[in-house]
Amino acid sequence: MTTADPATDDTPRIGLGIDVHRLERGLRCVLGGVELPGDLGPSGHSDGDAILHAVCDACLGAAGLDDLGTLFPDKDARNRGRDSREFCTETLSRVRGAGLRVAGLDVVVECERPKIAPHRAALRASLASLFAVEIARVNVKGKTAEGLDAIGRGEALRATAIALLVPAR
């Protein structure tokens, strides 16, 4: 396999990340690094922040690096209850190490609750800060599943993210 060198290759890199977490009553709801109000939150080995997990995987994918599950195995007790913002710091560091920077992020969150739209500005600002990209280059959209499947029944949440990386210079 040949790896393009960001020093000589201006081609943008695109990556996709998807993450699903169960929703359970009585858990904190931290998404995109923002604590959202409500009585329902994602369960998981870390803090269950499906948005950050999907965005990290999209960035790692675009950079041709490992995925989040490889970097931070859920079998590792150190990752229990871990603040997913730490995964973002590590991801950004590896993206920079590959000579790249984040030039755009777009995220779709599928869930019945919490409602995403009222929190869009806060979510965009949080992602922009965590991934060192301008707010105008970040978006987050909420979709419902029309009552269908586990997401439609409010039992789970899915985040899908796409990331555009460009050479850092």
Give Cβ neighbours of residue 116 (< 8 Å, ≥ 6 apart). 109, 123, 140, 141, 142
Q: Per rule CB under 5 A, is residue 158 in the interface with Mg ion?
A: no
Q: From the CB of 44, what's the least distance to Mg ion, in Å? A: 5
- How far apart CA 84 and CA 87 sit, in angstroms, is 5
**C-beta closer to Mg ion: residue 6 or 46:** 46
Helices (DSSP H) in 47-110: which residue ranges?
50-62, 68-71, 85-97
Q: Minimum distance from CB of 77 to Mg ion (Å)?
A: 17
Site string for Mg ion, 33-62 (x = CB under 5 A): --------------------x---------
Query: Measured from the CB of residue 83, what is the shortest distance to Mg ion in angstroms?
Result: 13
Question: Between 53 and 119, whose beta carbon lies closer to Mg ion?
Answer: 53
In the complex, what is the shortest distance from the CB of residue 153 to Mg ion, in angstroms, rounded to a whole number? Answer: 20
Nearer to Mg ion, 5 or 67 (CB): 67
Long-range pairs for 35-38: beta carbons < 8 A, 24 or more residues apart: 36/114, 36/119, 37/114, 38/113, 38/114
Cα 19 to Cα 158: distance, rounded to the nearest angstrom: 6
Task: Please report, as residue ranges, which positions from 13 to 32 form the binding site for Mg ion (by CB under 5 A).
Answer: 19
Say if residues 110 and 156 touch (Cβ distance below 8 Å).
Answer: no
Binding residues vs Mg ion (CB under 5 A): 19, 53
